[in-house]
Chain A
Amino acid sequence: MMELRWDIILIGTSAGGMKALEAILPQIPQDFPIPIVIVQHMGPDSDNYLASLLNEKCQVNVTEAQDGEKILSGTAYLAPGGYHLLIENDKTLSLCVGEKINYSRPSIDVLFSSASDVFGEKTLAIILTGANKDGTEGAIHIREDGGTVIAQDPATAEVPTMPQAVVDAEAADHVLPLDEIAQFIVGKVLLYDRD
């Protein structure tokens, strides 16, 4: 029997993130078996313009995360501007207007930590380009729970600070150039070591 290596894929990014997401998400096949949840730093006014833009370019469904919504495979959920995005034990999404974390709401740390509480070692988190250090603490949390962390190779990042912080904290299992990330996750998603 085939088993999935991960049950959730998280992506955190900030400055330069739109282009980086455009390099990864369109390569994910429509029948990809794992839900994807994304925090791209943005302000409260951003509407769901980013989600609809990405949705046009992707085979998976890209949509703004709705409070209380169940996460499904074949879908990428984008945190709305002005809200933290968390995942509940029953695999529904939750929004929260609590304090900014790392000057950010949505914050990557908040998403990563709450997802790790639910999915543990079945979590894959990816940190892409960005100008601050949001995501490092979340990445550490994920590693402690046995999950996997990929940092974009800072040399390929429009703004290297964010993936570099994860690398410096020794919280990355893999450091990959931007154009290899999609291939990596699609190639590794199935675990074949069970029969």
Chain B
Amino acid sequence: MNARDIVNVEVEVLLSAIRERYGWDFYYYKRASLKRRIATFLHENNLKHVSELIPLIMWDKEIFEHLIHSLSVPVTEMYRDPSFFNALRNEVVPILKTYPFIKVWHAGCASGEEAYSMAILLQEEGLLPRSRLYATDINDDGLKKAEQGVYQLDDIKEYQNNYHKSGGKGDLLDYFRISSNKAIINTSLKHNVRFSNHNLIRDSSFGTMNIIFCRNVYIYFEPELQDRVTQLFLDSLAPGGFICLGSKESIHIENYPHELEVFNERARIYRKLYQ
């Protein structure tokens, strides 16, 4: 075995240690990005070999939690992929407008920027008062940040461009209170948004949604897990409900001939069929 093979073995042993000890299953996560993040974690903690992590996480829950947080990729933006949000606004929102009440699920919401992007969009379309947004993730640090709704002002300024390209109708900064270099999301936008911990691998359906966002999460999953999560979403959607994936993600629609249709291929929006 060469050094690379040994590292591969160490990674598998680490993942099963995590599973046996804590019940977290990373088995169906793609390895290349996991390995990269494990290597970064080792480097930051002055460790040399992946297997050195095993005794640490076995006996120290805090280290385990640090590891989990570094393994998940809570990197996000507001209005990431403006053309998607544009399609959402112009093609999906008119349908949502016909509903008396709108339930939205952001699965893998990281630090909340996507959920707040949607809240602002719904507000501009007059729909926020009758909407409820559930935003979930496995990364508690991200969820905490999301709940606080405090972001770097410079970041928000950078998102202004995205916001306008997505068809935003006002000034993004108007939705924040500025305090020195921080931008704090207006409380009125938080009322209808709930953040909570939910693991797509382990936890069950969330009730009946009208639209589910799961953007830039599938790219970390093996196809088997993607299929399982798609099934979870189908079980969590009202008839006619939407699934929105990231720009480089897709669902093999031919596997769901009686359940799903492509609503907007470029924007990666799918729709559950009425049966």
A residues whose Cβ falls under 8 Å from a Cβ of B: 44, 66-68, 80, 83-84, 86-89, 94-99, 110, 113-114, 117-118, 120, 145
Contacts and interface: CB of A to CB of B under 8 A. Distances in A.
Nearest to A98: B73
Interface stretch (B20-28, B123-131, B140-148, B216-224): B216-224
A159 to B, nearest CB: 25
Interface in B195-226: 216, 218-220, 223
A67 B105 CA distance: 24
Interface residues of B, number: 23
Contacts, number: 59
Contacts of A66: 248
B4 A97 contact: no
Contacts of B30: 88, 94
B194 interface: no
A86 B73 contact: no
Contacts of B37: 98
Contact of A88 (B7, B31, B246): B31
B90 interface: no
B137 to A, nearest CB: 14
A89 B9 CA distance: 12
Contact of B248 (A80, A88, A117, A145): A80
B32 A88 contact: yes
Given A86-B32, A96-B220, A97-B216, 18 more contacts: A44-B81, A68-B223, A80-B248, A84-B33, A87-B32, A88-B31, A89-B32, A95-B219, A96-B33, A96-B36, A97-B75, A98-B37, A98-B73, A99-B75, A114-B32, A117-B32, A120-B2, A120-B4
A117 B7 contact: yes
B73 A89 contact: no
B4 A117 contact: yes
Nearest to A65: B248
